[in-house]
Structure 1
Amino acid sequence: MTSPVERVFLRSLELADVATYVSWGRDRTFCEHAGWTVDRPAVELEAHWRALIEQPKPDHLRRAAVAGDVIGYVDLAGAEPDRRELGYVVGPSDRWGRGLGGTLARLGLEYGFDVLGLQEIWAEAVDANRASVRILASLGMTETGRGQDEPFLGASSHYRRFSISRARWITVRVGSARGR
């Protein structure tokens, strides 16, 4: 699959990516964690992804994460000119536990601040999904409050909200570059 030395980068979604995203729909663990409908027919998933690629929504920028193969995607959603919501997914589930989630979230912040010129990026993670909460905190995002209740893998939970400003991100990035 993906080795730690492979460079991960973001690019536009392509029609050639559809088969990869459809294959993730057969990964029950992935679907349950990512909030995808479990056992959705492949033909429906294919139509969904084709529509996203051919008719992207202006308030929902999705970039494919690539390291040799497509390994996930990053979302920056919202209509505000200076502020967007970060989302990221690593698939399929056998790629989890390798640090890719943190890499994708970091790339999403870099893209949002450096390419889109955003001033603030926010994100939510379900409290019961400890890995996602850790990733957001490790990037220097500050917890800003509690979001809506959201079950996770059959357990009661809720969203935790985080945000980071451009100025804070510059400080965090400079600090992490010095630590290398």
Structure 2
Amino acid sequence: MPELRTERLTLRRWQESDLAPWAAMNADPEVREHLGAALTREQSDASVALFQEEFDQRGYGWWAVEVRETGEFVGFAGLDRVEDHLPFTGIEIGWRLARSAWGHGYATEAARAVLAFGFDTLGLPEILALTTATNLRSQAVMRRIGMTRDPADDFDDPNEPEGPLRANVVYRIARAEPTS
């Protein structure tokens, strides 16, 4: 699993010490506002085991994100396959940070590193980002990293009941073609 470094962050393999703060994030109703119900500690721990397994199998996935200066775990960022039940296919970028890490530009910084990995290392032609229509903070990050939204791509998640998590938006960015 490659490690990614930015000016302020390290995106790395998950560690045992990440489990408790990850579980706390997944139990925080504000962090989960656009994601659905809070996770139990067992569900949260199981998600990390799945992240590690998928990364080992595919060579990409969800990195743990820590602040380089302090070593503090602040969330995750990475790439995943678009879920099978959605009306399109591709690779999506995502991030989730603890509330204490909001407002510092960490999501944008981590996302830029993940985009570079996806395009430069994996050679992906395009990367998508999905979120609920009400998640304006994540949409702002998507725009900051150069993604654009086509409302024709927006969709209702068939796995969500009527409510604020059902309507979703899609942002896209294509790999820049090399100049000759």
Partner of 1:25: 26
C-alpha contact (below 8 Å) 2:155/2:167 kept by paired residues: yes
Specify whether residues 127 and 56 from structure 1 end up closer, same or farther in structure 2 by C-alpha distance, changes over 3 A only.
same
Is 1:65 aligned with 2:65? yes
Structure ranking higher in helix proportion: 1
Q: Unpaired segments of 5 or more residues in structure 1?
A: 172-180
Partner of 1:8: 9
Partner of 1:87: 94
CA distance in 2, matches of 1:124, 1:51: 20
Higher RCO (C-alpha 8 Å, min separation 6): 2
Aligned residue type for 1:76: L
- Report the 3-state secondary structure (helix = DSSP H, G, I; strand = E; otherwise coil) of the residue aligned with 1:135: helix
Partner of 1:112: 118
C-alpha contact (below 8 Å) 2:19/2:45 kept by paired residues: yes
> Following TM superposition, by how much is the alpha carbon of 1:98 offset from its aligned partner in structure 2, in angstroms?
2.0
Partner of 2:103: 97
> Following TM superposition, by how much is the alpha carbon of 1:157 offset from its aligned partner in structure 2, in angstroms?
6.3
Partner of 2:86: none
> Following TM superposition, by how much is the alpha carbon of 1:6 offset from its aligned partner in structure 2, in angstroms?
6.6
CA distance in 2, matches of 1:42, 1:157: 25
Partner of 1:161: 170
Q: When the two structures are aligned, how many residues end up with a matched partner?
A: 157
Specify whether residues 44 and 120 from structure 1 end up closer, same or farther in structure 2 by C-alpha distance, changes over 3 A only.
closer
Q: Over aligned residue pairs, what C-alpha RMSD do you find?
A: 2.9
The farther-off stretch of 62-71 and 14-23 is 14-23
TM-score, normalization: structure 1?
0.71
Partner of 2:77: 74
C-alpha contact (below 8 Å) 1:126/1:132 kept by paired residues: no
State, as a whole percentage, how many aligned pairs show the same letter. Answer: 27
Q: Deviations over 1:121-146 (max 9, x none)?
A: 11112221111111111211121333
TM-score, normalization: structure 2?
0.71
Partner of 1:175: none
CA distance in 2, matches of 1:165, 1:147: 18
